[in-house]
């Protein structure tokens, strides 16, 4: 059967299959209209997916690296040739992302499959210096089996491809559990995987119970998760109980430092994207701003001026700021902003529901000045279009306050002082540091956080190694009785009080 947004389905490559559960409407956060219908997977549907994955992986793991790479390049070709118009429109209507960002995310996933395909051909196993003559000693890598990919709603296709590409390249089968808010666009995207062997990739809709069932199964062997800190901790605990490896990307509350040496026009423009990209619903959004006193007022003026120019509206129109994904998401943002204002902060711009958009889950991009480090908006992850600005006396205070957080995903700095740039890279407690250009990623560099922001890494060599296990191999090509084998010669023992000791 073909995919239809109005009919709940799951995907087992190459087929869409009907689901049996009660349908749940998918609501457009901009218009509150119904986009389609989804349901959660039943036990039988979970079993069908895992049965297909297990069978497919048994053959996939036997392929040589060059053959697997050929399949992944064919997949990349399919991505580059596909028309993703419907998929992008579904993503906009499911979660509010502006259309240019949706189509860009969806269409630009081919490079990660090509990168992982070629990286896996260079196995990078280690031949060690031998510990004894006549012995060949080395490490090799093997796949785990079937990996589970529990995805977020903000970048449902891109982040899925990051971990799926690495897992497939390593020799695993993949089961994708999409975010409920972006199930339709994820399912629509699944057609690109039809170039792969039957059953190797599946997409299984559902909520927390579906994720729990997949993690708990003896037929899954590794987990990739992106989402909230609370959910990430739950996934990590569930995996630990089963000694199952996991990669956890759990978000954060990223700091952005404006040094007295910052190029203020560039810093203000970059801060708009860092804070308000995807309505602030980015794991690496800049939420906590630490602005040195010498440039504070001018920076805030420029930042506010550029922020007021942003257009708010439906992602299918010409807008930068779409709705938040849900009423609950907006309610959290409003709670944190209102609390900060009651505690003495000032809304330089924003701080309200836009009067022209009282239908849907819209909120104006907001800049708060006069924020202090003890406020809830600094201590919690806001995950909305809010920049909370703290005035600091100097660069050292900015670094100290930036690090005073349970989170450690990313951190940004604007400065033209080379010493400050290197100091920031060294001293900031985060998995990623951006100097003068926030939010950039690189397929060849590890992506992930410190502290409560995550475990393990995506992308780069570490991203591939997350989905394969090492094996030490010792081969003696001239078998011989070794001198240290049992029984020990009498000369190895000594008499002491009537007892023999080694």
List, by residue number, the catalytic residues. Answer: 249, 283
Q: Is residue 461 within 8 Å of 438, Cβ to Cβ?
A: no
Strands 346-349 and 366-369: antiparallel
What sign does the dihedral 355-357-360-366 (CA atoms) show? negative
Q: What angle do CA 56, 61, 66 make, to 5 degrees?
A: 115
Residues in the chain: 502
- Listed in sequence order, the residues at least 6 apart from 20 whose beta carbon sits closer than 8 Å to its beta carbon are 39, 42, 44, 45
Residue in 214, 193, 219 with CA at minimum distance from that of residue 13: 193
Residue in 214, 149, 224, 188 with CA at minimum distance from that of residue 11: 188
CA 165 to chain centre: 13
List the alpha helices (DSSP H) in 380-435: 395-403, 418-427
What sign does the dihedral 225-231-237-238 (CA atoms) show? negative
Q: Which residue has the tokens 């093997």?
A: 142
Q: How far apart are CA 390 and CA 412, in angstroms?
A: 15
Q: Which residue has the tokens 């100091």?
A: 423
3-state secondary structure of 12: strand
3-state secondary structure of 442: coil
């Amino acid at each position: 059967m073909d995919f239809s947004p109005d009919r709940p389905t799951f995907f087992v490559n190459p087929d869409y299959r009907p689901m049996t559960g009660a349908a749940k409407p998918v609501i457009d956060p901009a218009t509150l209209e119904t986009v389609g219908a989804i349901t959660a997977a039943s036990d039988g549907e979970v079993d069908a997916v895992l049965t297909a994955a297990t069978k497919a992986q048994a053959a996939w793991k036997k392929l040589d690296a060059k053959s697997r790479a050929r399949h992944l390049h064919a997949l990349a070709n399919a991505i580059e040739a596909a028309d993703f118009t419907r998929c992008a429109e579904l993503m906009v209507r499911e979660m509010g992302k502006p259309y240019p960002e949706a189509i860009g995310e969806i269409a630009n996933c081919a490079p990660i499959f090509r990168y992982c395909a070629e990286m896996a051909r260079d196995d990078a196993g280690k031949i060690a210096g031998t510990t004894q003559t006549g012995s060949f000693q080395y490490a090799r890598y093997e796949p785990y089996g079937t990996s589970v990919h529990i995805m977020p709603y903000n970048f449902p296709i891109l982040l899925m491809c990051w971990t799926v590409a690495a897992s497939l390249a390593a020799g695993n089968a993949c089961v994708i559990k999409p975010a409920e808010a972006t199930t339709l666009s994820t399912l629509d995207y699944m057609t690109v995987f039809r170039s792969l062997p039957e059953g190797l990739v599946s997409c299984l809709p559902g909520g927390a119970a579906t994720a729990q069932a997949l993690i708990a199964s003896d037929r899954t062997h590794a987990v990739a998760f992106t989402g909230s800190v609370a959910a990430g901790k739950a996934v990590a605990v569930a995996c630990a109980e089963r000694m199952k490896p996991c990669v956890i990307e759990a978000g954060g509350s990223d700091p952005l430092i404006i040094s007295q040496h910052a190029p203020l026009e560039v810093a203000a423009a970059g801060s708009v994207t860092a804070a308000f990209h995807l309505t602030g619903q980015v794991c690496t959004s800049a939420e906590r701003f630490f602005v040195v006193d010498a440039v504070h007022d001018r920076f805030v003026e420029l930042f506010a001026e550029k922020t007021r120019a942003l257009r708010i509206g439906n992602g299918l129109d010409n807008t930068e700021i779409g709705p938040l994904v849900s009423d609950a998401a907006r309610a959290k943002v409003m709670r944190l902003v209102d609390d900060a204002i009651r505690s003495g902060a000032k809304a330089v711009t924003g701080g309200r529901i836009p009067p022209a958009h009282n239908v849907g889950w819209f909120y104006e991009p907001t800049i708060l000045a006069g924020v202090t480090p003890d406020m809830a908006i600094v201590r919690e992850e806001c995950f909305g279009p809010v920049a909370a600005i703290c005035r600091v006396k100097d660069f050292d205070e900015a670094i100290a306050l930036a690090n005073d957080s349970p989170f450690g995903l990313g951190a940004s700095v604007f400065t033209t002082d080379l010493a400050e740039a290197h100091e920031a890279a060294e001293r900031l407690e985060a998995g990623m540091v951006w100097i003068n250009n926030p939010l950039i990623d690189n397929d060849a560099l590890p992506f992930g956080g410190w502290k409560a922001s995550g475990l393990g890494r995506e992308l780069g060599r570490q991203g591939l190694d997350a989905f394969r296990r090492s094996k030490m191999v010792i081969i003696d090509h001239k078998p011989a009785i070794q001198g240290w084998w049992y029984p020990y010669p009498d000369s190895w023992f000594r008499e002491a009080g009537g007892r023999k000791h080694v």
